Amino acid sequence: MTTQAKIGITMGDPAGVGAEIICRALAELPHSERASACIFGTLRVLERANKLAGTGLSFAANGAAQVGAVPVVDVAPPQAQPVADGAVSAAAGACSYAYIERAAKAALAGDIDVIVTAPINKEALHAAGHDFAGHTELLAHLTGVKSSFMLLASEKLSTIHVSTHVSLAGAIARATTERELETIKVGHAFMQRLGLATPRIAVAGLNPHSGENGLFGTDEPERIVPAIEAARRAGIDVRGPIPGDTVFLRAVNGEFDLVVAQYHDQGHIPLKLIAFDTTINVSLGLPILRVSVDHGTAFDIAWKGIARHANMSATIAYARRIAAQRPTA
C-alpha cells in the first residue's frame, strides 16, 4: 500500500449504511485532511454511496496519496454473487471479512495506526463461513491473540467490559479473578494513553447490590474483590465492587474516569442511554488499535440516503486523537 494514511476505515457490510456514513463523515473533513484516512472497501460501492449522499468526494484508487482525495484500497468482492441492499447475504459477509482482513494486515505492517470499522452483520459473516461473534473476536483471530477487551467511550462515561458477546451464564463464569484483574489493567493503561496520569476506576458489582454481603451471591468477595486488591497493590486507583445501579451515575457525575462493567448489557445500556449517537467502541488487548461506531448495519434505512453519520464522525475524530498520541519506538 502506497498511502501515507494513518487511519484505515473498513467499509463494513456493503448492504448496510457503512459506505454512506463514511462518505458523509469524510466530506466534513478539510480537503487537506482527507488523505490521512484510507478506506478499505469496494470502490464502485463507495462511488455509489458518494453519489447518493451528494458528498462530492474524489477517491484515489490503490491507496494512493492525492491532495483532496480519499485513498481507497479497492478490495474486490470475494464472491461473484450480487449484494442486495438492506439484506443479509453470504456475499456481503464475505466482503465484510475481506475488508477487515486487509486493514488488519496494513495495521500489523505499520501502514496505519488505527482501524475504524463501519458496522458488519454477524449473520452475514457467519453465512460466509466466518464464525465470529463480532469485530473484536475477528480481529483477535486475525492478530493471533487469545483474548481482547471492549471499551465504550463517550464524553461523560467510559466503560470496559469483562465479557461481551456471551450468554449471561457465560458472563458469570467468565468473571474470574484473573479476567477481572486483566480488565482493570488494560483499562488503566488505555486511559493513561489518553493523558490521564492516574485514572480513577470503578468496578461494578456482578450481582444486585454487589451481592449484599452474600445474600445475593458470593462472586464479589470470592472473585472480584481479590482482583481489585491486586490492582491496588500494583498502584492502580480502583474502587469497588460498586452496585451496578449506582456506579454509572457516579461516573457520569465525575467521580470516576472508567467503569469496569461485568457483562455486555450492564455496560452498553447506560452508554446508549446518554450518548446513543456518539458512543465509540474501542478494542483493547490487540497488537493493533481499532475503534468503531456503536451501531449496526441499519438495513431498514440502508441505501435510502437518510443514514445519520454523527457516530462515524465522532469515531473518526477519536481515532485521529489516538493516532496523534501513538507512542513512538
The rounded distance, in Å, linking the Cα atoms of 171 and 228 is: 18
Report domain extents, the chain: 1-148+285-329, 152-274
> SS3 of 85, please?
coil
184: which 3 cell numbers?
A: 482493570
Q: Are both 1-148+285-329 and 152-274 of the same fold?
A: yes
* DSSP assignment of 218-259: SHIIIIIHHHHHHHHHTT--EEEEE-HHHHHHHHHTTS-SEE
Looking at residue 276, its pLDDT comes to 84
Looking at residue 76, its pLDDT comes to 82
Looking at residue 137, its pLDDT comes to 85
Domain 152-274 is found in CATH 3.40.50.300: no
Looking at residue 67, its pLDDT comes to 67
C-alpha distances (whole Å) from 299 to each of 14, 84, 205, 243 are 10, 10, 36, 37
- Those residues of the chain that have pLDDT short of 50 are 1-4, 328-329
149 phi and psi, to 5 degrees? Answer: -140, 145
CA neighbor of 209 nearest in space, from 248, 243, 249, 250: 243
Looking at residue 64, its pLDDT comes to 64
C-alpha distances (whole Å) from 151 to each of 70, 260, 290 are 28, 9, 11
Looking at residue 277, its pLDDT comes to 81
> Domain 1-148+285-329 has what CATH class?
alpha beta
> SS3 of 79, please?
coil
288: which 3 cell numbers?
A: 493493533
Looking at residue 65, its pLDDT comes to 65
Please name the helix (run of DSSP H) or strand (run of DSSP E) that holds residue 136, with its range, or none: helix 135-143
Q: Please report where in the chains the cell 461485568 appears, as a residue.
A: 262
DSSP state, 217?
Answer: B
Q: If you count DSSP H runs as helices and E runs as strands, how many of each does the chain have, helices first?
A: 13, 12
